[in-house]
Structure 1
């Protein structure tokens, strides 16, 4: 080893909270470095005449805390190489609790030939347990304010959030917590816990979290655990729990009886109800219908969990892995400057995925991968797109329009012929629809969306006719096609 480093903790308060061993290390250190001078023990160091060097100036040289911590770790390693004897590096709290510089040193020192020893110290958690009055055995989370993700929050646990350096960080914490907790949920801000004359414990509603003054190196935010349904109902875990209860022996008789086949149609219906809210541009209804669709996914997953095949968490894992694998331009080393390039990457990775799974390429069809039971109009569109990728396609839209005219004529002849069966007539109708789908591709439109728009337009105009009948005190059997056509034209004028 070419150098020695000892990382020690200054504790969360003044010198009275230092262990005897740490106090001796600080007194005897020939080379003492502090991550920051902003700590109550520093006053004692000065009184004892203990000299030290701080890294406070490094904070002003970088725009982010990770960059600061990286720089400090590299400087310490360089000093360890250049210095005879042992370097003592002192950090606030405990060196293994929320101390990034020590984590970086632990990773890098072995490969640099530096012997690193980590000694303890009272962490801010010790004072949090005492001063905030909760038992960690109940379950708690320790989270970093600078990297807080709403998805990581578990309301059924006590949550302690450290690294709340300033009001800006507190504001970010507030916004993350509001994704799960009500705006008026009571949280606790702790400043300088356990330090006589400096400690502050403030209980405030969540929306006031970034209005509290005094945030700094010795600040934390505490979110008490809760069983409040309003909070728990915003978590995925609660949804999984509810669906499990519904399917349990003590749950809902209807839910208990369902199978994949019995609720198959529900999945289809809920999908179309979501599509309706999208077409109506109705976010409120969309929120509800997406929930109904999610319930179908949860029920199917729960049925498989009960027999040990997979759980909804396996479903999520598979999806996450697929998204990561098929987006190499985001999570890998490929590039995509537009949507077309991104889609090309997706298709290439999809093919690679099949190869890795051992799919037989020799017997594979270009048309593989199209769901069997999707609506026929959508299926025709997908079939044509796949065929076009290998060159089986019309060259000009004019040719496609000629094909539509040809198919229309054949349908006309089939309908008017006494020799054509109903089955053959329907096949001619299918040919016409298939040709019309080809037109949609050439004009870069979606046939499903086109027909959906026409359906919506027809319903709106027809309801106008119904409204006019009511206004005039008539029913359908008291009017004729000529009058209805007049109202139809009025409806068209109103739209324009």
Structure 2
């Protein structure tokens, strides 16, 4: 027995826009179901005495739309199956939805899957969608580029100011508030947006233009409401988009671009990369958000330039870089994106290391690194290199059990340095100094301190105290030639007390 569901669209709400074929089907339907009776076409059905069953009661039983839609689909499939068991004629029900069945209609999308799974024939008969009314009432051509988004699942990453944006399913002011917050991630607070109620429905259509910050202050949101964000090519909007950055860097490197940028190579701007990184670190150390914003951008520019050079050679683009990074982050966080769990930072780090080793094994990287100490960049500062070497060695058991022997080693290396100072051999003295520094780095590791960061903080502390001495010299109309170590030590101690360090 052939089981069948026919889905029809009731159009955007104006009876004159309902297709003749759909109207005839509604008139002769033996079993007509409607997703909701809150639609202008229901008055016409009531006037003609056409019986129907609505699913509005399901909305009242659930607090979210996914559960509502699932139950509606379950009910439709169950009804067809019930009819197939109890009737001799082929079971056929008609299901009517607002607008066009294939536009912003979750129940129809679910029905497509469920009917295929259950051997039910599903046919779809169109009706004018709210998009047709929107194009006409809001007077824009979709060929210019537009995107249709669901208010319930709106994410700022979906927004593209270069495209006309329609946001449907804006049922109430609470939903409009969520939309407003998402839009404010991309648009100025006073950007003009348009709210349309019952577009295309004679006597009910309303169009309101409001600044974005007033979007949820507007009254009258209901199931036929949409929000329209006109497209814009304003630089202020485009400059917040990553694609615009990629476009700018491409132009700078193009034949019509900047003469300096066109001439650069990986090697010629290598030092720039290092300088920008250190400037970013300085902004972090100074806890200066404004400087961080600028310096992080300078670091990003270096990444963009190097990636653009490779894109021109056909090797990879910045989007390949992003793809690789995304895949790596997901792969190395199975405790977030997979089935594993991590209850602490230490467990998360262990999971990261395990997945990193597995990844290197799968890619054949491990075979290219026969030594446990491989994989440390050769251009790292020596202090940080020592720290990473010791950490790698410790992971395979080459380490002391506690800090006691580490401190003894520091004392031993210090004594050896003292002995070499008497020899007058500068090369040996430098070697012993290196051994002492290496031992001190080991102590840093045992107390959980990054030696590079620790020394950076001490450098800053020294700079602050020394500048206090310079300040006192100016106050006393003195120069370094007019003072002595005893007086400078006194000011140094004052600086220590002032900073409580």
Q: TM-score, normalised by structure 1?
A: 0.97
Query: What pairs with 1:79-478 in structure 2 (closer than 5 Å)?
Result: 79-84=79-84, 85-361=91-367, 364-418=370-424, 420=425, 422-478=426-482
Task: State the shift of 1:364 in Å.
Answer: 2.6
Provide the rounded CA distance (Å) in 2 between the counterparts of 1:106 and 1:491: 75
Q: 2:87 maps to which residue?
A: none
Provide the rounded CA distance (Å) in 2 between the counterparts of 1:6 and 1:372: 68
Provide the rounded CA distance (Å) in 2 between the counterparts of 1:318 and 1:255: 26
Provide the rounded CA distance (Å) in 1 between the counterparts of 2:149 and 2:427: 67
Provide the rounded CA distance (Å) in 1 between the counterparts of 2:124 and 2:370: 59
Contact 1:13/1:40 (CA < 8 Å) preserved in 2? yes
Contact 2:417/2:432 (CA < 8 Å) preserved in 1? yes
Contact 2:369/2:375 (CA < 8 Å) preserved in 1? no
Q: Could you list the structure 1 runs, at least 4 aligned residues long, displaced by more than 4 angstroms after superposition.
A: none
- Give 3-state SS (helix, strand or coil) of 1:5's partner: strand
Provide the rounded CA distance (Å) in 2 between the counterparts of 1:345 and 1:148: 33
Task: State the shift of 1:136 in Å.
Answer: 0.5
- Give 3-state SS (helix, strand or coil) of 2:228's partner: strand
Contact 1:2/1:81 (CA < 8 Å) preserved in 2? no
> RMSD in angstroms over aligned alpha carbons?
1.3
| Structure 1 residues without counterparts, runs of 5 or longer | none
2:40 counterpart of 1:40: yes
Task: State the shift of 1:160 in Å.
Answer: 0.6
Task: State the shift of 1:262 in Å.
Answer: 0.9
- Give 3-state SS (helix, strand or coil) of 2:39's partner: coil
Contact 2:169/2:223 (CA < 8 Å) preserved in 1? yes
Deviation readout 1:339-391 (Å, 9 max, x if unpaired): 11111111111111112212354963222222221111111111111111111
Deviation readout 1:122-160 (Å, 9 max, x if unpaired): 110000100000001101011111111111111111111
Contact 1:156/1:226 (CA < 8 Å) preserved in 2? yes
Provide the rounded CA distance (Å) in 2 between the counterparts of 1:2 and 1:336: 52
Provide the rounded CA distance (Å) in 1 between the counterparts of 2:231 and 2:366: 53
Deviation readout 1:41-79 (Å, 9 max, x if unpaired): 011111111111111111122222112112211221111
Contact 2:192/2:210 (CA < 8 Å) preserved in 1? yes
Task: State the shift of 1:28 in Å.
Answer: 1.2
Q: 1:451 to 1:360 in 2, by over 3 A?
A: closer
Q: 1:288 to 1:360 in 2, by over 3 A?
A: closer
Task: State the shift of 1:442 in Å.
Answer: 1.1
Q: How many residues align?
A: 494
